[in-house]
Amino acid sequence: MQGAGQRTVICYVGVGANLGDPAGNCLAAMDLLASRRDLRLVRRSSLYRSEPVGVEDQPWFVNAVAEIATGLSARELLAALLAIESGMGRIRENRRGGPRPIDLDLLLYGQEMIREEGLIVPHPELHKRRFVLAPLAEIAPYVIHPAFGVSVRGLMDRLEDDAVVEVL
């Protein structure tokens, strides 16, 4: 996974689905991540059942977070996530928050802050979403959000989102 002089970065990927078999789709996506030679799945959270946020007239979601170690750049990792989504039947549309068979979001890429066309890290909504913070806090409560200097647990404590999120 790592060549000479190449560093390994710990990243967190949000995993979600609400079409087809959402729990099975989330597990399959994490298995696909684990099967890649250019990254290592360090651990995964439990699966969580989550009430839709934003577009409420749709099935509830299943969400999880995967911790990844990789030598890929953030842009390369994003491309890998999009390829997995596409392979699992995800068609990205302009409509945000709608139903989907799988959704993979790059939440954190080490402690880097990246603002490029099509790539913003940390994920700009991470600190506002219980369905992301609950599984992230399960596996990485002490990771610090690079923009706010607050731990994931601290973000959970400050969270105003009261949407239902429960362990499956």
Residues with active-site annotation: 90, 100, 103, 105
DSSP 8-class letter at 54:
S
In Å, how far are 2, 52, 117, 155 from 65, measured between CA atoms?
23, 17, 24, 16
Token pair for 32: 């696909």
Structure tokens at 147: 């923009």
d(CA 20, CA 7): 38
Query: Distance (Å, rounded) from C-alpha 32 to C-alpha 65?
Result: 14
Contacts of 71 (CB under 8 A, 6+ apart): 1, 2, 3, 6, 7, 8, 9, 38, 39
Tokens, residue 132: 């992301």
Q: Which two tokens stand for residue 101?
A: 């068979």
Compute the distance between CA of residue 53 and CA of residue 166 in angstroms, rounded to an integer: 14
